[in-house]
């Protein structure tokens, strides 16, 4: 119940449910009765600044049997504007008994630790900072567990993972779980899946190399690629020309 996008909210779904506590509660209750696994709910703070609706909703969800709650500490009307207000996480923590996950603007291990100490939350959720930078999650987990922060990935690792990401999305678009299974699928279906996957990742693949010298020129080429082969060629050409592919240069998203 956190999606603020107008086409979703117009139908009464997503964050629009924050304005309709009775329906939201009925949905949670129905799901809890229908499944045997723990049901968790994610909400925003409320529809707009006029009402911090999350505490009342969360109490209803808790009574309906939800086992954990996540708060994206923005109001629906904000979209992604402004900063997440972590004090709302602290206030919600005081209002409910089930575990609460704090979410919004966590970009590093120190942000995650600050979210824990400032709000008393039980867990943290990371969204945008992990897009095309899954290593960021390992850094954050290490910081939270008090372990040494892993070294940043090299350019080679970034490229390998970017291509793996694309292979997995092609497999997904082709309706199978693993890249190995793609071989058994008719060629025209795979080609369609490949085109769709490439279109979907054109914006994300460039983020894997963001921050390295020459990345913006490579980005211009990556945003027009239509096949795995093309992506591989552009990335390999970029890697060969990159004057300093050492770990740590690639910037976080």
Binding residues for ligand FMN (CB under 6 A): 2, 42, 72, 103-106, 126-129
Instruction: Please check whether residue 45 is in contact with residue 5, taking contact to mean a CB–CB distance below 8 angstroms.
Output: no
Instruction: Please check whether residue 225 is in contact with residue 162, taking contact to mean a CB–CB distance below 8 angstroms.
Output: no
Nearer Cβ to ligand FMN (31/185)? 31
CB count within 10 Å of CB 253 equals: 16
Please give the residue whose beta carbon sits closest to ligand FMN in the complex. 127
CB of 12 to ligand FMN, least distance (A): 17
Give the gyration radius of the chain's Cα atoms. Answer: 21
How many residues does this entry show for the chain? 253
Nearer Cβ to ligand FMN (96/103)? 103
Element (H, E) at 103: strand 100-103
3 noted as active-site residue: yes
* Measured distance CA(105)–CA(213) in Å, rounded: 27
Tally of CA atoms within 13 A in the half-sphere of 219 that contains its CB: 13
Residue 27, judged by CB atoms within 10 A of its CB (0-12, 13-18, 19+), counts as middle
CB of 126 to ligand FMN, least distance (A): 5
CB of 11 to ligand FMN, least distance (A): 16
Nearer Cβ to ligand FMN (53/129)? 129
Q: CA dihedral in degrees (144, 150, 155, 158; nearest 10)?
A: -50
Of 3, 121, 225, 242, catalytic: 3
CB of 212 to ligand FMN, least distance (A): 23
Nearer Cβ to ligand FMN (52/179)? 52
Nearer Cβ to ligand FMN (104/250)? 104
CB of 180 to ligand FMN, least distance (A): 27
Instruction: Please check whether residue 240 is in contact with residue 211, taking contact to mean a CB–CB distance below 8 angstroms.
Output: no
Element (H, E) at 56: helix 54-64
Residue where the block lists tokens 């999305």? 169
Instruction: Please check whether residue 28 is in contact with residue 39, taking contact to mean a CB–CB distance below 8 angstroms.
Output: yes
Catalytic residues: 3
């Amino acid at each position: 119940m956190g999606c603020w996008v107008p086409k979703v909210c117009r139908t009464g779904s997503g964050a629009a449910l924050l304005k309709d506590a009775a329906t939201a509660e009925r949905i949670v209750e129905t799901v809890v009765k229908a499944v045997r696994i723990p049901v968790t709910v994610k909400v925003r703070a409320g529809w707009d600044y006029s009402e911090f609706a999350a505490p009342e909703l969360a109490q209803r969800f808790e009574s309906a049997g939800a086992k954990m709650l996540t708060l994206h500490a923005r109001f629906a009307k904000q979209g992604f504007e402004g900063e997440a207000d972590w004090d709302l996480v602290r206030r919600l923590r005081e209002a409910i008994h089930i575990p609460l996950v704090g979410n919004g603007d966590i970009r590093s291990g120190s942000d995650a630790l600050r979210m824990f100490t400032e709000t008393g939350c039980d867990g943290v959720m990371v969204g945008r900072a992990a897009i095309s930078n899954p290593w960021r999650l390992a850094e954050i987990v290490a910081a939270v567990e008090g372990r040494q922060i892993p070294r940043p990935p090299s350019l080679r690792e970034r490229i390998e993972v970017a291509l793996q990401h694309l292979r997995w999305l092609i497999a997904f678009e082709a309706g199978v779980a693993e890249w190995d299974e793609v071989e058994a699928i008719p060629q025209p279906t795979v080609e369609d899946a490949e085109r769709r996957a490439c279109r979907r990742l054109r914006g994300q693949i460039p983020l894997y190399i963001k921050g390295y010298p020459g990345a913006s020129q490579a980005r211009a080429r990556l945003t027009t690629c239509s096949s795995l082969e093309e992506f591989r060629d552009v990335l390999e050409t970029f890697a060969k020309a990159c004057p300093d592919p050492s770990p740590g240069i690639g910037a976080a998203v």
